[in-house]
Structure 1
Amino acid sequence: MGWRHVIIEGDLSGPMNHHPPSTAVGRALTVVLGVMPFAVLTVLVFEHWAPLARWDQSVAARAATYGAAHEGLIDFWQVVGAVVLPWTSRAVIAIVAAYLWHRRARLLTFWLLTSAAAELVLVQVVKAVFERPRPVPMLGEASGFSYVSGHAAAAFVMAGALGVVLPSVRGWRRRFRLLVLLPVIAVVWIASADRIALNVHYVSDVLGGWALGLAILTATSIGFGLRPGLRRRRRRTAVESDGTTAPPRAAVIVNPIKVGDGVAFRRKVTRALAVRGYEDPLWLETREDDAGNAMAKAAIEYASDLVLVAGGDGTVRVVCSALAHTGIPVGVIPAGTGNLLARNLHIPLDLDDALERILEGRDRRIDLVGVHGDDLDNDRYAVMAGLGLDAAIISGAPPHLKKQIGWTAYLVSAAKNVNHPSVRVQITIDEAEPIERRVRTVVVGNVGMLQANIPLLPDARPDDGLLDVVVIAPRRVTQWPIVLWRLMTRTNRSDMYLERFTGHRVEIHAAVDVQRQLDGDPIGPGRYLITEIEPGALTARVPKRR
């Protein structure tokens, strides 16, 4: 039998993108974004930007004064400096490269060695080009120029490289990866603090080392086209039916604009299903005027035992909403820009890995969230709904940029919306008294992790029967670093900048029309959103250990 290929009420034509999005322009823009922090910092340093210069001089003066009064502490930092040398970091990279070579991961091996070599060369080039004098007086021995810190750059490259490699090593438990990564991150901080404590580098030298390390890792990763994977996939043979039981049925709902190479995608999905005993799948393509509702209903009528959905967060949301309370398992194949539900369910972003984890996985009942508002019919979402700045960022991300560089396009939109005005809102949680706040954004989430593993709602769980709410309200642009620090460190205390709440029903009323979003899809401006949890509404197919 061939594929069952069904297009509900028409077809959608047009160009298709690669899966995942990958173009020369996209790669170039990603490299530019990776290099930009180093370029900006370098300009600020050598144009003698007053705030940065004052910070450098102030920290250097304090380090010199404190060190002169505490000679024992200086001896300690000198010992630390002798241990966390740049060559120590490079030796760690060489050891990991040897391990990868043994595992026959040739691409990752060459990438690691290239990154280390680039760091060694570029640090010396930058020092020679800018010839920045070191702070006076130095409390330890150091030769050469000050900008950038070789210790900081080498340690950052080591930590960043291992951060790419370790998640690729299949068979390593998550806890073990953390046990390795956390000390490596600590080494970056210790090596950097040592340079400042001994007054052999300014703070900006250390920041420059980190920024140069980021630029190196970004450029080499793009250059090598990394899609890490160390385990050789087993060749499976198709399962033969014994003739006494009907094989399970699967439907595949696809957004053809997001998936890209449709022929290769279908071949992989069909084979993955066949080797596990499924019938030839029913193929359903979304349309411009229907992101998946009619397709999900067709999958239900087909009596599917499993529905796979491949598309952006909008397609996933619509399909999950239509399959709510049916008991049919839904497997999410990441193919969009954000892939937020897949990330929060720990489904890999690589197609082959995602198929294996889904088809070898288990069924898990997760919550959905009912939502309605002005100019918004009753709907559901699985990830997050937002009102204010977050929706403005999503609305402002150029579609062509999202196709080229993926979720980093949101960073461009965030920069454009950094001064997005605050708005007065009234928030009612369950039966409690309404609270009034002037906010930049309010997000009501079913899960909590954003792209780049940013824990916006660190306590949110997809099956806890609760809504998690975060209210973000910095009054000035200079207060955003405080908010970002609070988010990254998962600090739970509430203050005027960031508050968290939980409940079963949340109403948000704004004083004026503001942008709104559901699961990363803009839904237009409005003044209110009313959300309510639907416990266990969706059966999701997730990796076995999740």
Structure 2
Amino acid sequence: MAILLILNPISGDIDKSNFLKVLKNKLGKKVNTLNIFKTTGKNDLELLKQHLQEHTYNKVLVAGGDGTVKLAAECLLNTSIPIGVIPLGSANGLATDLELPTTLDASINVALGQNTRKIDALFINGNLCLHMSDLGINAALIKSYERSSVRGKIGYLFAGIPTLLNNKNPQNFSIETNEQKLIRHGIMLGIANSRRYGTGALVNPEGIIDDGYFELLIFKELNIKEIIKTLRDEKSYNSSFLEIISCQQAKICCETPTDFQIDGEYLGKISSVEIKIEQKALNIMI
């Protein structure tokens, strides 16, 4: 068996040396080849695509956060090669949604196991989205986080406080789905292929990552009480806080250019997005 490990050395501000030791001990002589591709933040996608063209693997392991998983997915869409996710990032939303183990030993066991699940993928303005995207406050928070020198959850906290204080103004979103046209007023519009954000917040409780549908989440106001509910896994939301629309394709236009992110990566301010879904596009170890 040949395995490729895609490793983000700085994700989550976590030292990966112990992980590598545990992984190599578990593999022992079970594999013929273990190659390691370390991300650097420079031309990672192009270099990884080239590497995969030159080598053949039975499985690809990903050690990092949502961004590193997305990197692997960009190269393995609609292939039979399974992806084993070891959640070692600041945000591990996809792993959380798939209920993957959080302990190192258990997560490696799942990644090296035999059980797989084919999940859907979204394309937003042509960009791959595996997990969560949004327009508004959360994207602005990610922008602040990326500019900060503090990593991990503390970094999100430091970025979050000023972002929330400075972004309270709602705007109109024009929404066109395969079934309806409507206008909604809110502080943020989420595009959800799964149920949770990387923080674990349950914002799309009825979402299923392989059902051929995605959800639009219209957050109408900044309500701390309701936000706390999402962190407690409570499924009932006040309709004045959140509205959920399930669909298979959509176009959204913003009243003003708005901060935009996909899977934890800030992509600037935009005025509109088009969303399409590709069913069962990726093979993930569970």
Q: Could you tell me the TM-score, scaled by structure 1's length?
A: 0.48
Does the Cα contact within 8 Å between 1:293 and 1:319 map onto a contact in 2? no
What is the DSSP-based 3-state SS (H/G/I as helix, E as strand, rest coil) of the residue aligned with 1:413? helix
Which residue number corresponds to residue 162 of structure 2? 416
C-alpha deviation, 1:389, in angstroms = 0.8
For residues 124 and 224 of structure 2, the distance between their equivalents in structure 1, rounded to whole angstroms, comes to: 29
Q: Which amino acid aligns with 1:407?
A: K
Q: Which amino acid aligns with 2:187?
A: R
The one of 410, 427, 449 aligned to 2:196: 449
Does the Cα contact within 8 Å between 1:466 and 1:533 map onto a contact in 2? yes
What is the DSSP-based 3-state SS (H/G/I as helix, E as strand, rest coil) of the residue aligned with 2:36? strand
Does the Cα contact within 8 Å between 2:2 and 2:57 map onto a contact in 1? yes
The one of 489, 497, 511 aligned to 2:234: 489
Deviations for 1:333-392, whole angstroms, at most 9, x for unmatched residues? 1121011111112222332221112212411111111121xxxxx221110110001111
Which residue number corresponds to residue 24 of structure 2? 270
Which residue number corresponds to residue 437 of structure 1? 184
For residues 143 and 280 of structure 2, the distance between their equivalents in structure 1, rounded to whole angstroms, comes to: 30
For residues 259 and 215 of structure 2, the distance between their equivalents in structure 1, rounded to whole angstroms, comes to: 20
Q: Could you tell me the TM-score, scaled by structure 2's length?
A: 0.89
What is the DSSP-based 3-state SS (H/G/I as helix, E as strand, rest coil) of the residue aligned with 1:489? coil
Deviations for 1:280-316, whole angstroms, at most 9, x for unmatched residues? 3011122222344531552354221100112232121
For residues 44 and 206 of structure 2, the distance between their equivalents in structure 1, rounded to whole angstroms, comes to: 30
* Structure 1 residues 298 and 336: alpha-carbon distance in aligned structure 2, compared to 1, 3 A threshold: same
What is the DSSP-based 3-state SS (H/G/I as helix, E as strand, rest coil) of the residue aligned with 1:453? coil
Does the Cα contact within 8 Å between 1:296 and 1:323 map onto a contact in 2? no
Does the Cα contact within 8 Å between 2:137 and 2:187 map onto a contact in 1? yes
Which residue number corresponds to residue 76 of structure 2? 323
The one of 263, 266, 274 aligned to 1:519: 263
For residues 24 and 163 of structure 2, the distance between their equivalents in structure 1, rounded to whole angstroms, comes to: 43
For residues 277 and 264 of structure 2, the distance between their equivalents in structure 1, rounded to whole angstroms, comes to: 18
For residues 415 and 310 of structure 1, the distance between their equivalents in structure 2, rounded to whole angstroms, comes to: 29
Larger Rg: 1
C-alpha deviation, 1:253, in angstroms = 1.1
Q: Which amino acid aligns with 1:289?
A: K
Which residue number corresponds to residue 298 of structure 1? 51
Which residue number corresponds to residue 472 of structure 1? 219
Structural mapping, 1:247-258, within 5 Å: 248-258=1-11
Q: Does 1:529 align with 2:273?
A: yes
Name the one with the larger strand percent: 2
For residues 210 and 246 of structure 2, the distance between their equivalents in structure 1, rounded to whole angstroms, comes to: 14
Which residue number corresponds to residue 387 of structure 1? 135
Does the Cα contact within 8 Å between 1:425 and 1:510 map onto a contact in 2? yes
* Structure 1 residues 467 and 480: alpha-carbon distance in aligned structure 2, compared to 1, 3 A threshold: same
C-alpha deviation, 1:332, in angstroms = 1.1
For residues 523 and 441 of structure 1, the distance between their equivalents in structure 2, rounded to whole angstroms, comes to: 15
Name the one with the larger helix percent: 1
Q: Which has the higher contact order (CA 8 A, sep 6+)?
A: 2
- Structure 2 portions without partners, runs of 5+: none
Does the Cα contact within 8 Å between 1:429 and 1:505 map onto a contact in 2? yes
Q: Which amino acid aligns with 2:235?
A: R
What is the DSSP-based 3-state SS (H/G/I as helix, E as strand, rest coil) of the residue aligned with 1:269? helix
What is the DSSP-based 3-state SS (H/G/I as helix, E as strand, rest coil) of the residue aligned with 1:368? strand
The one of 242, 264, 286 aligned to 1:498: 242
- Structure 1 portions without partners, runs of 5+: 1-247, 373-377
For residues 483 and 354 of structure 1, the distance between their equivalents in structure 2, rounded to whole angstroms, comes to: 28
C-alpha deviation, 1:444, in angstroms = 0.7
For residues 347 and 425 of structure 1, the distance between their equivalents in structure 2, rounded to whole angstroms, comes to: 34
For residues 511 and 415 of structure 1, the distance between their equivalents in structure 2, rounded to whole angstroms, comes to: 25
C-alpha deviation, 1:462, in angstroms = 1.4
Does the Cα contact within 8 Å between 1:292 and 1:318 map onto a contact in 2? yes
Does the Cα contact within 8 Å between 1:425 and 1:508 map onto a contact in 2? yes
* Structure 1 residues 288 and 319: alpha-carbon distance in aligned structure 2, compared to 1, 3 A threshold: same
C-alpha deviation, 1:498, in angstroms = 1.4
Which residue number corresponds to residue 285 of structure 1? 38
For residues 521 and 352 of structure 1, the distance between their equivalents in structure 2, rounded to whole angstroms, comes to: 28
Which residue number corresponds to residue 149 of structure 1? none
Kindly report the root-mean-square deviation, in angstroms, between the aligned alpha carbons of the 2 structures: 2.3
C-alpha deviation, 1:273, in angstroms = 2.5
Deviations for 1:152-199, whole angstroms, at most 9, x for unmatched residues? xxxxxxxxxxxxxxxxxxxxxxxxxxxxxxxxxxxxxxxxxxxxxxxx
Structural mapping, 1:178-327, within 5 Å: 248-258=1-11, 261-275=15-29, 277-299=30-52, 301-327=54-80
Does the Cα contact within 8 Å between 1:428 and 1:506 map onto a contact in 2? yes
The one of 407, 419, 422 aligned to 2:153: 407
C-alpha deviation, 1:506, in angstroms = 2.0
Identity of aligned residues (%): 24
